[in-house]
Structure 1
């Protein structure tokens, strides 16, 4: 079977999904602008987290404290146990999808991996949940992508291609490792902060009796460093999502496919009566506390990458085999 999509390399790429044709001119300047922004944000945020950890070490023990903090971070990253993709998939009761069950989806995934320059195609898994979701686990050498029943039944092939490309981008960009590094730095910052506060509590009476001024600004930094590090970690997660969206659009040459999938995902979250009775239910939380960017902002960035030339024909539905296990309500999978 011929690959259903190919990477856009010219000014007016043509993407074919089982006979449905789409033509776009690619806005290369918008792509470069988004890419520069994502790289800069990721570098600054991760650098800020390391700077906070180093500051906590310096407050506790000066230069030696900085070296100790960085050494502890390196050792933790090297020695920390890594969950195998198989274990994570078992936790979600994910089951492998043979190629004969969904040949079109496997062909799309293989074409995306080929465009991404990946020699190994991630294993495709099915999660029996009605919630629309997908996630990737592992690295380039051992990776898997899981898709829920709700997503397979509600997305057409074009939209699912965008979702799969997004997950492949996470794998290719080593986002699992980057977020693991950020989590390690955040945990060490909490430990260093707690240690510094305990040392200060024991030393405070002596400082007061001897008339030594207490550096309250440094104390405040110790107290609030874990919170600041957690906020930077959340911001880094949102930046990596934007980067994965951009790479996914480049791999498929079709930013509208992923934008359409995100729009469906946004509209399908929750029950219909929640949308009617509580129209503002999705936006009570501050943006700083979100692991993912607002869906509207993601869609706007994707649509800014293309200029449509011709309206697409009818979408291609994904025909699911009858022997797939029924979906069940329950746990929610983090969007990846």
Structure 2
């Protein structure tokens, strides 16, 4: 199983590099059409500046938008015991931190990175999943922290936004050139116009592909950290049953069409569960529990109050 995990990680890393290279190439297209080689250099310089400045803001903004509160150890001792173990196995030396989001949605997300960050859990998620399933979800988010996925996806989103803006400027320039084209003084650059028109859509699709790929990688890492792929698989199945109801009601057929999956930031749940079940078959059988899995009501002893925008915007998540 170790060799299979290593091979899967290598394939995922190569896919990440290819996708990021594709995003960089698409970003270079409008920059080159606007100002040649200088435009390409200017575009990448703007990306570097945006990432440097934005890398310090998004974690705090995410917590502020979510109206989150800091969940301390005495308020969720069982969850912190699980998180301590996952941090040790992942080789993360920072102090684990959990954040509580007073929302009925079933969601969890990582903020920051391995050096300074944490994991936010919604009230709906804690009330719905049992401890084994929550351990799988926490391990998934620990993997995001370990590999700096928040930073990577921020970079991909920045590159996509700049590609869209660059394409808009090129199209605006072509519109201004239209009188000269009609007068016969210039030719209409059809090829350039086609490339610029397709670049934003292609960049968006690559960004979504990168997100899905990193979700697959986080699932793989979570299974390795917990040594229990079935825990995360069970959590995903619960989330699909609860959160997939709105989509089934929206689509009369009850199942989204194939093209719809291209626009999702996360991979299809059935594919993720299938991969986790395949990993579970490679492991020795886990002793069966004497009781059926049901949500553990006492995981959060005392729910913290939201800290508000002023708190999160005024300091880093860990302070």
- TM-score normalised by the chain length of structure 2: 0.84
Find out whether 1:174 has 2:148 as its counterpart. Answer: yes
The answer for the alignment partner of 1:52 in structure 2 is: 26
Find out whether 1:40 has 2:40 as its counterpart. Answer: no
Partner SS state of residue 313, structure 1: coil
1:85–1:144 CA contact under 8 A, matched in 2: no
In the TM superposition, what is the alpha-carbon distance from 1:34 to its structure 2 partner? 2.5
CA RMSD for the aligned pairs? 2.7
Q: Distance in 1 between matches of 2:250 and 2:224?
A: 39
How many residues matched? 299
In the TM superposition, what are the counterparts of 1:136-215 in structure 2 within 5 Å?
136-210=110-184, 212-215=186-189
In structure 2, do the counterparts of structure 1 residues 87 and 213 end up closer, same or farther at CA, with 3 Å as the change threshold? closer
Per-residue Cα deviation, 1:207-261 (whole angstroms, up to 9, x for no partner): 4534544331211111221122111111111111111111111111111111111
Q: Distance in 1 between matches of 2:242 and 2:51?
A: 38
Structure 2: where are the runs of 5+ without partners?
A: 306-319
Per-residue Cα deviation, 1:74-111 (whole angstroms, up to 9, x for no partner): 22222347326445323323222232232221110000
Find out whether 1:252 has 2:226 as its counterpart. Answer: yes
Structure 1: where are the runs of 5+ without partners?
A: 1-26, 327-336
The answer for the alignment partner of 2:274 in structure 1 is: 300
292, 296, 310: which is aligned to 1:318? 296
Which deviates more from structure 2 when the two are superposed, residues 239-248 or residues 118-127? Answer: 118-127
The answer for the alignment partner of 1:220 in structure 2 is: 194
Q: Distance in 1 between matches of 2:125 and 2:163?
A: 38
In structure 2, do the counterparts of structure 1 residues 80 and 200 end up closer, same or farther at CA, with 3 Å as the change threshold? same
Give the number of the structure whose residues are more often strand, by fraction: 1
Per-residue Cα deviation, 1:11-69 (whole angstroms, up to 9, x for no partner): xxxxxxxxxxxxxxxx2343234323321221111111110111222222222222222
Q: Distance in 2 between matches of 1:270 and 1:262?
A: 11
Q: Distance in 1 between matches of 2:122 and 2:158?
A: 29
Q: Distance in 1 between matches of 2:124 and 2:94?
A: 27
The answer for the alignment partner of 1:332 in structure 2 is: none
1:122–1:142 CA contact under 8 A, matched in 2: no
Per-residue Cα deviation, 1:168-199 (whole angstroms, up to 9, x for no partner): 11111111110111111111111211111122
Which deviates more from structure 2 when the two are superposed, residues 152-161 or residues 292-301? Answer: 152-161
Per-residue Cα deviation, 1:102-142 (whole angstroms, up to 9, x for no partner): 22211100000011111113311222222221111112232
Which deviates more from structure 2 when the two are superposed, residues 149-158 or residues 79-88? Answer: 79-88
Give the number of the structure whose residues are more often helix, by fraction: 2
The answer for the alignment partner of 1:239 in structure 2 is: 213
In structure 2, do the counterparts of structure 1 residues 152 and 53 end up closer, same or farther at CA, with 3 Å as the change threshold? same
Partner SS state of residue 79, structure 1: helix
The answer for the alignment partner of 2:256 in structure 1 is: 283
2:160–2:200 CA contact under 8 A, matched in 1: yes
1:255–1:305 CA contact under 8 A, matched in 2: yes
- TM-score normalised by the chain length of structure 1: 0.80
In structure 2, do the counterparts of structure 1 residues 209 and 258 end up closer, same or farther at CA, with 3 Å as the change threshold? same
1:131–1:151 CA contact under 8 A, matched in 2: yes
In structure 2, do the counterparts of structure 1 residues 89 and 61 end up closer, same or farther at CA, with 3 Å as the change threshold? closer
Displacement over 3 Å in runs of 4+? 79-82, 84-87, 207-213, 274-282, 321-326
